[in-house]
């Protein structure tokens, strides 16, 4: 079940990312997408998403609701919408299935199909090939990148949001459930940028204050010419080092770009920052990737 070669490992170490083909079959991809469609059809829209802005107080309530909903989503399956999904009355302006930006952050724990993929022999084989001893699963997401409205994701490093001491212990796995192309918003990377550390962090603010998270450090600017596109065929996976700089453009095409993605952390001799927005809970400690 090994789908990663020594050459792939070398590229990951040198560039901070690598594309691997054939992790999932086309049927497996379709099953994950179909299951997500069922989840979306049954979803209850969070009340804060329907708040209309008639006063400054209403706007603050909505912002507070969004923040609470996000920061407590690590052990739940929650829904995050595209801008402009609702009208001033809180009703959908687009079809329900076209309204979502992502669903997260515990699909790997509560949805059997997603759990099966996350713990699959191929995924475990990749982790072992990279020498991970005690990897745990931090979070998982289904990202829609809706046709025509899927927004740009600005250049960033995952370790800004998922910080460890020492650094270099987090890896993202980004599985294309449809072809990810330059036209529909594939990932772009700055090869080798994982060797330069991070310049800022998103941290929790003291209890009782708002906003609930804030950034420390400084935001970097990057030369567009340094970015290299990483298109992926349906069923392929991109391994993403926690410190490599990456982004994705808007989806201006007529095709969606559905992705299942999750993050691993090597837990051996690693300290997970208590300042990170994402924290393990009694209900859901970070589960081990390896199954007996």
Run of H or E residues at 100: strand 100-105
For residues 60 and 62, what is the distance between their CA atoms, to the nearest angstrom? 5
Residue 66: predicted pLDDT: 83
* Structure tokens that stand for 57 in this block: 């107080």
Cα 226 to Cα 256: distance, rounded to the nearest angstrom: 26
Q: Is the separation of the CB atoms in 226 and 135 below 8 Å? A: no
Query: What's the rounded Cα separation, in Å, for the pair 257 and 242?
Result: 22
Give the Cα separation of 170 and 138 in Å (integer).
9
- Contact 200/51 with Cβ under 8 angstroms? no
Maximum separation of any 2 CA atoms in the chain, in Å: 59
**What kind and span of H or E run contains 200?**
strand 200-204
Q: Which residue has the tokens 């804060």?
A: 48
Task: Give the pLDDT score at 46.
Answer: 80
Which residue matches tokens 């084989």? Answer: 125
Could you list the pLDDT tens digit for every one of the 292 residues in the chain?
Answer: 467 999 999 999 999 999 999 999 999 999 999 999 999 999 988 877 765 554 555 566 567 768 888 999 999 999 988 877 888 778 888 888 888 899 999 999 999 999 999 999 999 999 999 999 999 999 999 999 988 877 888 999 999 999 999 999 999 999 999 999 999 999 999 999 999 999 999 999 998 888 899 999 998 999 999 999 999 999 999 999 999 999 999 898 999 999 999 999 999 999 999 999 999 999 999 999 999 7
DSSP letter at 192 equals T
Where helices occur in the chain by DSSP H, the ranges are 6-15, 26-42, 56-71, 107-110, 112-118, 121-129
The total number of residues written for the chain in this structure = 292
Q: Tokens 């030369």 belong to which residue?
A: 223
Half-sphere exposure of 30 (CA within 13 A, CB side): 3
Say what the pTM is.
0.94
| pLDDT value of residue 1 | 46
With 0-12 CB in 10 A as exposed, 13-18 as middle and 19+ as buried, what is 277?
buried
Q: Note the pLDDT of residue 89.
A: 78
Task: Reduce the DSSP state of residue 216 to 3 states and report it.
Answer: strand
pLDDT of residue 58: 55
């Amino acid at each position: 079940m090994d789908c990663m070669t020594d050459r792939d490992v070398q590229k990951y170490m040198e560039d901070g990312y690598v594309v691997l083909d054939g992790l999932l079959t086309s049927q497996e991809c379709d099953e994950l997408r179909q299951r997500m469609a069922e989840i979306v059809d049954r979803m209850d829209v969070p009340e804060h998403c329907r708040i209309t802005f008639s006063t400054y107080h209403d706007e603050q309530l909505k912002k507070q609701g969004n923040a609470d909903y996000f920061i407590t989503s690590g052990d739940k399956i929650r829904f995050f919408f595209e801008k402009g999904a609702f009208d001033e009355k809180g009703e959908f302006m687009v079809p329900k299935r076209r309204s979502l930006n992502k669903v997260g952050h515990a699909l790997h724990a509560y949805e059997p199909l997603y759990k099966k993929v996350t713990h699959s022999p191929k995924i475990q084989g990749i982790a072992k090939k990279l020498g991970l001893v005690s990897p745990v699963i931090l979070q998982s997401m289904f990202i829609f990148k809706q046709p025509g409205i899927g927004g740009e994701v600005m250049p960033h490093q995952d370790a800004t949001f998922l910080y460890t001491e020492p650094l270099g212990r987090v890896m993202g796995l980004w599985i294309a459930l449809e072809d990810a192309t330059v036209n529909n918003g594939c990932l772009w990377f700055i090869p080798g940028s994982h060797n330069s550390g991070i310049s800022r962090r998103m941290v929790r603010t003291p209890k009782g204050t708002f906003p609930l998270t804030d950034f420390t450090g400084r935001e970097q600017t990057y030369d567009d010419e340094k970015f290299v596109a990483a298109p992926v065929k349906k069923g392929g996976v991109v391994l993403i080092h926690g410190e490599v700089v990456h982004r994705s453009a808007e989806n201006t095409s007529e095709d969606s770009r559905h992705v299942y993605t999750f993050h691993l952390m090597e837990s051996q001799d690693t300290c997970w920052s208590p300042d990170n927005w994402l924290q393990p809970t009694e209900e859901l400690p970070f589960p081990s990737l390896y199954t007996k």
